[in-house]
Amino acid sequence: MDSCWKSKTIDSISVEIWTRVFAIFCGFNGPKSGENLDRLFLVTDSTNNFFRARLKPQLVMVKAVIRDQMLHLQFKNLVCKVALTKVASRQQASTLTNVRGQIYEAFDCGKEAAQFFSQIMGEPSKLLMHQRSIVVQKAKSTFSDEFPYMIATQSSLNELNQTLNEKDFCDVSNANMRPNIVVEQCQAWDEQKWEEIQFGESLYTQNVAMNCVEPCFRCLMTTIDPQEGKLHPTHEPLVTLRSVSTVMDGNAPSFGVYANAKKEGFIYVGMTVWARYKNE
């Protein structure tokens, strides 16, 4: 084994609104589980300005799953179904020019979805579906923040929770942090040192591979209770994260790293992860 590669293990993987799954296909545009492609949808107001969950925290309580080309939505007692084949055939496109500096055209998911989200948002809203085939310019992936993947380690979360407990705060979960892939059996904040990772039982097989691009700097999104859809009144765990994170950007602490796929393929929980460290 090459001495600059060290092995770890996948603890959990997720897609969409932090739904845990056993396996995903890692594509260049992001993770996919069955029919569910990560960050495929965006909720906007009537003029195509997208809603940020840190301003509309109730969004994190929406459950979404695609089965047989039907999108199933649930928020508390509200339910909605959207036939995605009809959405695509209508080709009723909306142009979004304000999604983190990228320009998209996305399909409007129709009146039923608009009514569903208008009730949740408390104002006229609509649901848009990403179509990679009609991206206008600059878009790297689906509606992701920066890069298609965000990878975290369980040990970093454990250290954060230990410090929270010392301050008499309750534990937070990876649902607060929303990584696609969680890796265990490594030291806290180890992910900040990675340059590249590969997945598979042997380093020398044709593995799924990813470049670790840059730290994921955190904001108020981490303070939203994923069960209640409310911001923590004292901005925890963000405040405590600032005291334990090893990489900062001004007042923003990092947790996890952004990544791009170099080689596509399937990964699953329990799979070995090989990490190549920076400057090695």
What's the mean per-residue pLDDT of the chain?
A: 87
Q: What's the CA dihedral at 230, 256, 30, 60 to 10 degrees?
A: 0
Q: Is the pTM of this model over 0.85?
A: yes
Range of the domain at 227: 5-34+145-277
In a domain, 174, yes or no: yes
Top mean-pLDDT range of 14-18, 93-97, 174-178: 174-178
Q: Compute the distance between CA of residue 46 and CA of residue 53 in angstroms, rounded to an integer.
A: 17
Total domains in the fold of the chain: 2
pLDDT of residue 139: 40
| pLDDT tens-digit map of 181-194 | 999 999 999 999 99
In a domain, 139, yes or no: no
- Give me the helices (H) in the chain, please: 84-90, 111-121, 154-166, 174-177, 238-244
Choosing from 109, 134, 159, the residue where a domain stops is: 134
55 with 160, same domain?
Answer: no
90, 102 contact by CB (below 8 A): no
Choosing from 110, 134, 158, the residue where a domain stops is: 134
Say if residue 245 is exposed, middle or buried (CB neighbours under 10 Å; 0-12, 13-18, 19+): buried
27 with 154, same domain?
Answer: yes
Record the tokens describing residue 14, joined without a space.
């997720």
Q: In what order do the strands lie in the sheet with 30-33?
A: 36-37, 30-33, 23-27, 265-268
3-state secondary structure of 94: strand
Q: Compute the distance between CA of residue 26 and CA of residue 267 in angstroms, rounded to an integer.
A: 7
In a domain, 109, yes or no: yes
Residues of the chain above pLDDT 70, percent: 87
Q: Does 135 score more than 60 pLDDT? A: no
3-state secondary structure of 82: strand
| pLDDT tens-digit map of 220-244 | 999 999 999 999 999 999 999 999 9
Confidence of residue 138 (pLDDT cuts 50, 70, 90): very low
pLDDT of residue 144: 67
3-state secondary structure of 49: coil
Q: Which residues pair with 208 in a beta bridge?
A: 199
- Residue partners of 159: CB distance under 8 A and separation at least 6: 188, 189, 244
In a domain, 140, yes or no: no
Averaged pLDDT, 130-155: 68
23 with 48, same domain?
Answer: no
pLDDT of residue 4: 60
